[in-house]
Amino acid sequence: MIDIKFLRENPEAVKENIRKKFQDNKLPLVDEVIELDNQRRANQAKADALRADRNKYSKQIGALMGQGKKDEAEEMKKLVTEKSEELARLEELETELTEKVTKIMMTIPNIIDPSVPIGKDDSENVEVQRYGDPFVPDFEIPYHTDIMEKLHGIDLDSARRVAGNGFYYLMGDIARLHSAVISYARDFMIDRGFTYCVPPFMIRSNVVTGVMSFAEMDAMMYKIEGEDLYLIGTSEHSMIGKFIDTVVKEEELPKTLTSYSPCFRKEKGAHGIEERGVYRIHQFEKQEMIVVCKPEDSMMWFDKLWQNTVDLFRSLDIPVRTLECCSGDLADLKVKSVDVEAWSPRQKKYFEVGSCSNLGDAQARRLKIRVSAGKQKYFAHTLNNTVVAPPRMLIAFLENNLNEDGSVRIPEVLRPYMGGKDIIKAE
Complete domains list, the chain, with CATH: 4-105 (1.10.287.40), 122-424 (3.30.930.10)
Give Cα 27 to chain centroid, integer Å.
Answer: 24
Question: Residue length, the chain?
Answer: 427
Measured CA to CA, the distance from residue 320 to residue 76 in angstroms comes to: 77
- So what's the pLDDT on residue 86? 83
138 Cβ contact partners less than 8 Å away, ≥ 6 residues apart: none
Measured CA to CA, the distance from residue 385 to residue 387 in angstroms comes to: 6
Measured CA to CA, the distance from residue 224 to residue 211 in angstroms comes to: 18
CA distances to 6, 94, 242, 247, 406 from 371, in Å? 19, 28, 14, 5, 54
CA distances to 54, 63, 76, 84, 247 from 59, in Å? 9, 7, 10, 15, 37
Q: Give phi and psi for 80, each to the nearest 5.
A: -65, -40
Instruction: Give this prediction's pTM.
Output: 0.88
Residue 30 near residue 45, CB atoms below 8 Å: no
Across 117-245, where does the E strand assignment appear? 126-131, 154-155, 169-170, 195-197, 202-203, 222-223, 230-231
Measured CA to CA, the distance from residue 145 to residue 66 in angstroms comes to: 89
Q: Of 134, 136, 116, 135, nearest to 126 (Cα)?
A: 116
Measured CA to CA, the distance from residue 191 to residue 327 in angstroms comes to: 34
Measured CA to CA, the distance from residue 403 to residue 141 in angstroms comes to: 9
403-423 burial, b if ≥16 CB within 10 A, otherwise e?
Answer: eeeeebebbeebeebbeebee
Measured CA to CA, the distance from residue 385 to residue 358 in angstroms comes to: 9
Residue 116 near residue 336, CB atoms below 8 Å: yes
- So what's the pLDDT on residue 273? 43
Residue 395 near residue 279, CB atoms below 8 Å: yes
Helices 172-191/390-400 angle, 10° precision: 110
Measured CA to CA, the distance from residue 288 to residue 375 in angstroms comes to: 34
For the chain (427 residues), the mean pLDDT of every run of 10, in chain order, is 93 98 97 96 88 72 68 70 81 92 94 97 96 94 94 93 91 96 97 97 93 78 93 94 97 97 78 60 93 98 98 96 97 96 96 96 96 95 95 93 96 97 91
